[in-house]
Amino acid sequence: MSGQSPGEILLTLYHQSQMRTNSLATLTPAFALAGILAVVLAGCRSLPASKPEALWTMDEARGAQVFHQKCARCHHPTTARPLNGPGLQAITKLKSMPSGAPPTDERLTQVILHGRAMMPATQLTDDQLSDLLAYLHTL
């Protein structure tokens, strides 16, 4: 900057500060996008794997039959992706069901037998319900 007049020095400093300001303005959305992406990816953790069918007990196998007869038209068993209702992968291993309630056997029984929101009540015998709950625990 030596050899420049005070006006030229001020003009050079002004342009340098504008370049820094413009660089920050350009980077700010990039940092915001990176932060949002980090939060989204942190929320997309993988769910625990389902129990292999070869290891199912008789109750769990019967529960799978009940599921396919009564539930499969609305719920995917091995993914969280919704069908007509929410996917049920790891439903008993999560902190809460899609409704926000904890996935206890009592709450699952209540929802299955009495329905909730758009889910209709499902008529099951005590044995079918017990087997279905055993199967849900394998997901």
**pLDDT confidence of residue 53:** 96
Q: Which of 96, 82, 90, 98 is nearest to 46 (CA)?
A: 90
Domains of the chain by residue range: 1-45, 53-136
63 SS3 class: helix
Q: 97 or 84, which is more confident?
A: 84
Which position has the token pair 């409704």?
99
**pLDDT confidence of residue 42:** 42
Tens-digit pLDDT profile for residues 25-66: 555 555 554 444 444 444 555 888 899 999 999 999 999 999
Tell me the mean pLDDT in the region 109-123. 95
pTM greater than 0.85: no
Secondary structure (DSSP) of 4-33: S-HHHHHHHHHHHHHHHHHHHHHHHHHHHH
Sequence letter at residue 17: S
**pLDDT confidence of residue 39:** 43
53-136, superfamily in CATH? Cupredoxins -  blue copper proteins (2.60.40.420)
